[in-house]
Structure 1
Amino acid sequence: MSASSNGLCPLLRGTLFFVVASSVVLLASCDKPPEQAAAPPPPPVTVAQPTKRMVTDWDEFTGRFDAVEQVQIRARVTGFVTKVAFKDGAIVNVGDLLYEIDPRQYQAAAEQAQGQLADAKAKVELAQRELERATTLIRTQAISENIVDQRKQSLAAAEAATLQAEGALKRAELDVEFTKVTAPIAGRISRHLVTVGNLVQGSESGATLLTSIVSMNPIHVYFDMDESIYQRNSRLWFEGKRPSSRDTPNPVQIIMAGETKPSRAGKVDFLDNRLDVGTGTLRGRALVDNDDLSILPGQFARVRVLGSAPYEALLLPDAAIGTDQSRKIVYVVKDDDLVEAKPVTLGALDDGLRVIKQGLRPEDRIIIDGLQRARVGAKVAPHAAKVGDAKP
């Protein structure tokens, strides 16, 4: 029994020594402070000061083009169409022949009226000679004054008949002229609605529609501004900061469908005299050049109307502007390279940059690239650039 105990003692003593040694090592390791991880460097960002320049505000509306002149071509005399003299959709000039209507019956009526006029003139000559003879005979009392009065009445009746005959001849000649239907305005013509051989009516009510013409250059564009914009523009006019479009042809810019920048210019030439009670808007109109005839009546476009006098403003790219709930903010790098968020009031776009109406100073350093790496209150490594260097 004692022998077996003596045999186990060395093993127990070795195990106990290992445990104690391990504990000492662990206690020693606990006394050493842990090695701290190195802090990451501040994230790089690109900063720039806002651009300062003179800008002008523009109000933008949806506009619709319409022709300055437009006319429906209708028959003015009744008859059969003998010729269609235009190509559908072509450009026509004033006086161009469009249709021909059979003129023979009207030519015959004109010849008849001309004969009636000649007969009336002959009767006038006869009545004048008879009156002259009667005037001579009355001096010798060869005839009575009653006969002289009758001769005067005959002359007046003959002259009246002559006037009637002249009127009938002019009307007949007009009917002959109306058998040739010509363009009253210059512009683009529509398709022909009546073909050769068809009977058209020329009565004042129910005259046959033959085609239509719309003028092309210049062209009108109509737009509707809401009441708030009208009131603001009126206030600016009273303050002398913006001319009124009623007495000044204020400039407009036209952005066609598919375009991002204005490609045409025009001038306001009309403002309505009342607001539409249904929509609360005021109808305006501008005159736009259409030299290449590419704009058609009925097309839509964006219309930018002068909204202010020129003023000095600070501008930034849209990429530098963030959103904090309902506020628009920009990230400013202070002198100690810490990031600060500033709320701003935005204006319109001007040549690709956003006008900042309130919230910025010209010397502020704005983060224009690297917004995703910036945190409010954190330090950044700013790299100076110009506003034009911002990434879209």
Structure 2
Amino acid sequence: MGKKILIISSEHTGHGHKSITEALCEKIGNNRDIKIHVVDGFSLGGQTLLSIGKLYGPITRKAENLWKMVYNISSDYPNLINHFIEELIRKNFLKLLEEVKPDLILSVHPNFNGSVLNILEKQYIKIPFITLIADLVNISPLWADKRADFIISPTVEARDKCIEYGIPAENIKVLGFPVRARFFRNSTNKKVFYRKDAPLKCLIMSGGEGVGNMKKIAEILLDHFDCTVTIVAGRNVKLKEKLEHSLRRQYGDKVKIYGFTKNIHDLMLASDIAFTRGSPNVMFEAIASNTPMIITGALPGQEEDNPYFAEKSNLGVVCKNTNEIKQIISKLLENDGEELNHIINCQRKFINPHAAEDILQFIINVEEHSYEAAAPSFSYN
């Protein structure tokens, strides 16, 4: 009989948690010995919690200071957040356990670590529980619950932060950041080093929510360089309409504008440079596709140090102000794109293309070891 893994993810708080989940699920393939059941953790809390989750997009687009306050509160009072969510999800979570009967639980969202572990502990339910951190440097205490059997970290920086929070080092495994297979180049679309024999292909994006000064960036590029610009406005419909009205009229076919698209991998693979926010998921997808990044900003809180994480490893360049773009691009393109090609090389050396497989194999090994030791114990009363 196949083993069952319950993944607690999120559909509406950005796209990163969903992408991580998809990266893991696609590695299961036709393996009938492993069954994965994915649930949006926010849906377990009914309309109240689901509505809170759906506020992520509007808040991060329009009120970064409010988001910073929310992040700081959750970091300062993790037990309060855990208790609040525990109360909202308890009934539906226990019902889900009874239906799925998982052999292991994997959480890829910080809001469902302590809250779920609280429920399991109070109900005397013994199921192996693993946390997969979806952030890179600035780790909220919500990620670091000592009761988790293991915490999987994408970076050494995240691991060190967990240790600061009191997690034993032996309970943390640094296995990389899982990226969906379609973002990796193969023999047919292998990245070639940049040469000045064609217009520079620029991609401007800012995560699934579509934030940032995309219009200004596009104008600087198109006014000063031989280039084409592709913009992904994400779920921000008003931004897409605004960009189409202003940029297409002025620059014509040199500009292409998309809303939310599932083909972002094709756009990355076709680009020489990607302008993006410091979103962990977007950053690692750009690294996987071997597309040098110019990072133009980051959400306060969990993304704050991500731009400098990328710059430290020569994975991209940090641009603090749009006025710096002309100088940055000019420098990258000097000497037949010497610095741009250096970034391409560093990305190739940095990325672990097998991170999703490594994580999944680790989870399976934990599950098999736990299953052999003792079958999960359920008590719903």
Normalised by the length of structure 1, the TM-score is 0.19
Higher Cα Rg: structure 1 or 2?
Answer: 1
After TM superposition, the score normalised by the length of structure 2 is: 0.20
Structure with greater helix percent: 2
- Structure showing greater relative contact order (alpha-carbon pairs closer than 8 Å, 6 or more residues apart): 1
